[in-house]
Amino acid sequence: MTDSQITFDPRNPRTPNEVRAALESILGDGMVTEEIWRHLVAGAHVTSVLQMRHDMNWLADEVHRLRKLKGLPIVGERRIPDIVEKRKDYRHKRAEVVSLLRAREAAADLGVQAFREQHLGRKLLKSSDVEAWVNEEAAKSGPPTWWLRGIPVPSNRKLRQRLDNKAGVFTVPPLCISRERPAEGCQLHLLRYGVPGAPRLRVVPTVAGSVLEELRVTSATLAKRVGWSEAAAVLFILTGATPLMEPIDWILEVTRGRVVLEIDAAMTPREVADAYLEARRALTEERPRMLSEKHLALATWIAEQPLNDLRSSKERMRAWNKGKRKRGWTYNRPENFARDVEAAERRLLRWFLPKRGRGASGAVLRMESAAHEIPSPEKRGKR
């Protein structure tokens, strides 16, 4: 079997396959369904990127627009950070004051100060100039760097750590990555930042040792320390704008249909309940339907069947009927049995995923399957 080359420059893809791979590196696997991809190809959107009339962020915006039009979840979406406007009368809300104090702490961060002095000449950018500055730095850097992951260290190698200003881990003797000793995979480092008026955050892959990679690392460190998103930290480092720290932040774990709330302890129970309702509406407008005793028993029976069950619906129906079933629980038609099996599983595991998404135009996009449609990245919102 012939090996294939998988690395490419996602900022300048050369083939349709590279365009799709670049899209998925920006948006996450599963966001670009087969039907959406066919639309992008038929509508000449892919051709427009290949001919460099538009960039990958423009194409990602189009995918978001199509998914919203069809009523499909927007996975991995991040809001462009809201900015605290300083007022002369000092009549700020609590969240705004907390944000201003956090920004004061962030401004004292040595990493932030060093980046601003070395790469901005201590002159902050205007928000409207951020995208042009990022694009200019990306052009200077050259093709983005691919990073290997999941590299096993053999027992005959010793791990050492550098303690100078280029901290890192290495092996003695050096480790060889080859066809016989491969890494598990590769990935890009992505810098996410906000642009005023844009529908979603911008994404640009970085180059090892570049200004943008240093900005990505600095913003990630600052975000963990202060409690911002990385995109908010980037905006602060470059412009000095104070990101608003919302008192309630929610995350949707779309694959599991769960809502995770991060709450300021000063919030009232009513405010928490309102935030939960908002988050749940962002996940789905559907409500979970209670399962009857019969459907719950049917789902339990399905869970106990072997994974490699190749029986037809008719054969499975007969096996179900042979059990000690209550009156009215047996089936005569295989199609009704298969329908109820699918309904029972869906109401338990995927009740929040509509069978069809219907947008304002009335157009319908059928869901391919839960596994293909919804990847692992999360969806985030704020109050």
Q: Which single residue is written with the structure tokens 């509509």?
A: 354
Backbone angles phi, psi at 370, to 5 degrees: -60, -40
- Same domain assignment for residues 59 and 140: no
In a domain, 328, yes or no: yes
Per-residue confidence at 373, pLDDT binned at 50, 70, 90?
very low
Count CB-CB contacts under 10 A for residue 175: 15
pLDDT of 290 above 90: no
- Same domain assignment for residues 203 and 307: no
- Same domain assignment for residues 101 and 227: yes
| pLDDT number for residue 259 | 78
Give pTM, 2 decimals: 0.70
| pLDDT number for residue 367 | 25
- Same domain assignment for residues 234 and 127: yes
In a domain, 153, yes or no: no
* DSSP bridge partners of 158: 172
In a domain, 157, yes or no: no
**How many domains are contained in the chain?**
3
* DSSP bridge partners of 382: 249
Q: Which of 32, 74, 73, 68 has its CA nearest to residue 359?
A: 68
Residue 243 DSSP code: B
pLDDT of 357 above 50: no
| pLDDT number for residue 320 | 92
| pLDDT number for residue 352 | 64
- Same domain assignment for residues 137 and 199: yes
In a domain, 87, yes or no: no
Q: What angle is formed at CA 378 by the lines to CA 347 and CA 22, rounded to 5 degrees?
A: 115
In a domain, 260, yes or no: no
Question: What percent of the chain clears pLDDT 70, i.e. is strictly above it?
Answer: 82
Domain span including residue 337: 293-351
- Same domain assignment for residues 207 and 338: no
* Ranges 33-37, 278-282, 296-300: which has the least confidence: 278-282
Per-residue confidence at 75, pLDDT binned at 50, 70, 90?
low
| pLDDT number for residue 353 | 60
Pairwise CA distance, residues 292 & 148, whole Å: 50
Per-residue confidence at 248, pLDDT binned at 50, 70, 90?
confident
281 versus 151: the higher-pLDDT residue is 151
Per-residue confidence at 73, pLDDT binned at 50, 70, 90?
low
pLDDT of 376 above 60: no
